[in-house]
A = this chain, B = another copy of it.
Amino acid sequence: MRATPSEVAGLTPAAARRRFRDGLVAPTAGWCAGYAQANLLIVPKDIAFDVLLFAQRNPKPCPVLGVLDAGQTSGPLLAGGDIRTDVPAYTVYRDGRLVETLDSLAGHWRDDLVTFLIGCSFTFEAPMMAAGIPIAHVDQGRNVPMYRTSVRAESAGRIGGPLVVSMRPIPASQVADAVRITSRYPAVHGAPVHVGDPGALGITDLAEPDFGEAVEIPDGTIPVFWACGVTPQAAVMESRPPIAFGHAPGHMLITDARDADYQVP
């Protein structure tokens, strides 16, 4: 049974996590309105310092909302929850390769695993939509298109990789508003990294994203690029740790933090 959009928008994060813990697998867009959703990255303690330093050096693509201690399975962002079961779907990477998608990590847990919760652009799309800015991938019912760029993120120890960006085509008259609004959310990707010139980022064809889905680009819009939370996953994969876990695209952790907590000033 698939929950209806209006029903899931009103759920508390704890109630939503309970459904996923009980076995529901569903994308989380539109769930728990007003609460921040997070990208997931779980790595062995051995490389956790490098990952945290990579995030510190690349705050736009890697806004860290929280880190659980090694072996810890719950924390203030998911009070009463369990990180091994409360995400709708997980990806498993061995030696940097995606080998499996699972609905629970309970069978894979180890006491040396460190969990990173990383901000997600859902947090800034809501205020853009509230300001009347159309979000093409939402209107078209697709996942946001994401692209590897020719820009390298700043590396840290063994962790390095390309900057990955998401793209939203914004009406030319509203580009300034989109910049202004998203720059108020520096803790969740913040202002765009690039406006209007895909070639300068090494993107040759907007119709062929590396992750997510292509969107139709409405007339009169300018492609606007934001740093993307896939960047740390791509970098960790490049370093080929024996084991790492993420969330399946669009199947995020729903946290107890409110989107408004990340707004400045």
Contacts and interface: CB of A to CB of B under 8 A. Distances in A.
A34 to B, nearest CB: 20
Interface string A45-56: 000110011001
Interface string A62-78: 00101101000000000
Contacts of A19: none
B52 A53 contact: yes
Interface in A133-177: 156-157
A264 B53 contact: no
Contacts of A187: 186
Contact of A264 (B49, B56, B64, B184): B184
Interface in A47-101: 48-49, 52-53, 56-57, 64, 66-67, 69
Contacts of A56: 52, 56, 64, 67
Given A64-B56, A69-B157, A157-B69, A264 B48 contact: no
Nearest to A180: B265
A252 B69 CA distance: 32
Given A53-B52, A69-B157, A183 B64 contact: no
A191 interface: yes
Interface string A187-202: 1001100000000000
What 7 pairs between A and B have smallest CB-CB spacing? A183-B265, A49-B49, A184-B265, A186-B264, A52-B52, A183-B264, A56-B64
28 contacts: A48-B49, A49-B49, A49-B52, A52-B52, A52-B53, A52-B56, A53-B67, A56-B56, A56-B64, A56-B67, A57-B66, A57-B67, A69-B156, A69-B157, A180-B265, A183-B264, A183-B265, A184-B264, A184-B265, A186-B186, A186-B187, A186-B264, A190-B264, A191-B264, A191-B265, A264-B264, A264-B265, A265-B265
Interface of A: 48-49, 52-53, 56-57, 64, 66-67, 69, 156-157, 180, 183-184, 186-187, 190-191, 264-265
